[in-house]
């Protein structure tokens, strides 16, 4: 997941991002990767090696369901959708994330005194 000019995703955040993207409506794996890249303004590039295991994991945990539907190009693609359980999970995880970033932000705000 690491590439030049971009940065590491903290552990577990990929699942959160995927669910956030899927929450917008049924979507297939390739589009999810594209969308994350877009939304992060090209800062995040999700590799297939991480994306698909994560999707399958979420599906196994019943946060996502999947169905085969024709894609925009007409080919069949596996479209993922958030389940009720997934929606609840996403909500609480998003809350957690916000609280975490707020707290971390509180501590890290201000000048880089003592570092540089």
Partner 1 sequence: MSWLRRLFARKRMEIDLDKELRFHFESQVADKVRSGISPNEARRLARLEFGGIDQIKEHCRESRGTLWLEAILQDIRFGLRQLRKSAGFTVAAVITLGVGIGAATAIFSVVDSLLLRPLPYPNAPHIVRIWMTFAPRGMMEIPLSEPEFLEFRQSQNLAHVAGFSVGTITLTGSGDPLQVTASWGTSDFFTVMGTAPFLGRVFTSDEQLQGQAQVALISHRLWQSRFGSSREIVGKSILLNGQSCTIIGVMPEKFGFPGNDVDVWEPLPIGPLSDKIGNHYLNLIANIKPQVTLQQARSEMMTILDRIMHRYPKYYGGAAGLGVSLIPLRQQMVGNLRPTVLVLMGGVLVMLLIACTNVAGLLLARGEDRKREIATRSALGATRSRILHQVLIENLLLFGAGGALGLLLALACIKALSAADYLNIAATGGVKLDLRILSFAAAVSMLTGLIFGLVPALKASRSNFNDALKTSGRDEMGSHYRTRVRSLLVISEIAFSLVLLTGAGLMIDSLRNLLGVNLGFNPDHVITMRLSLPEARYSIAQTAAFYEQLQDRVRGLPGVQAVAIVNQLPMSDVSANASFDVEGRPSNTDINVADTLIISPEYFRAMGISLIRGRFLDGEDATHPPASIMVNETLARKVWPGTDPIGKRVRLGPSYPWLSVVGVVADIKNHGSNVATKPEIYFLLTRQMFQIWIDLRSMSLVVRTASEPSQIVGAIRGHLKQLDPNLPIYRISTLKDLVASSISQTRFPALTLSLFACAALLLATIGVYGVLAYTVAQSRHEIGVRMALGAQQGQILGLFIAQGLRWAALGGCAGIVAALVLVRFMRSLLFEISAYDPGNLLAVIAVLSAVVLLACSIPALRAARVDPAVAMRNE
- Residue 77 binds partner 1 (CB under 8 A): yes
52 binds partner 1 (CB under 8 A): yes
Question: Of 21, 22, 28, 82, which lies in the binding site for partner 1, with binding defined by CB under 8 A?
Answer: 28
DSSP state of 110: S
User: Which residue of 18, 27, 29, 86 would you call a contact of partner 1, by CB under 8 A?
Assistant: 29
**Tokens read off for 8:** 């590491």
Q: Is 82 in the site for partner 1 (CB under 8 A)?
A: no
In Å, what is the CA distance from 41 to each residue of 26, 75, 109, 112, 114?
22, 28, 23, 26, 31
């Amino acid at each position: 997941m690491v590439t030049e000019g971009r940065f590491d995703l903290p552990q577990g955040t990929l699942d959160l991002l995927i669910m956030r993207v899927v929450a917008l409506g049924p979507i297939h794996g390739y589009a999810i990767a594209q969308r994350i890249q877009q939304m992060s303004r090209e800062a995040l590039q999700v590799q297939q090696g991480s994306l698909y295991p994560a999707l399958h994991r979420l599906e196994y945990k019943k946060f996502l369901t999947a169905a085969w539907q024709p894609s925009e190009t007409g080919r069949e693609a596996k479209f993922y959708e958030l389940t009720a359980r997934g929606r609840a999970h996403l909500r609480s995880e998003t809350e957690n994330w916000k609280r975490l970033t707020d707290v971390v932000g509180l501590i890290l705000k201000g000048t880089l005194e003592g570092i540089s």
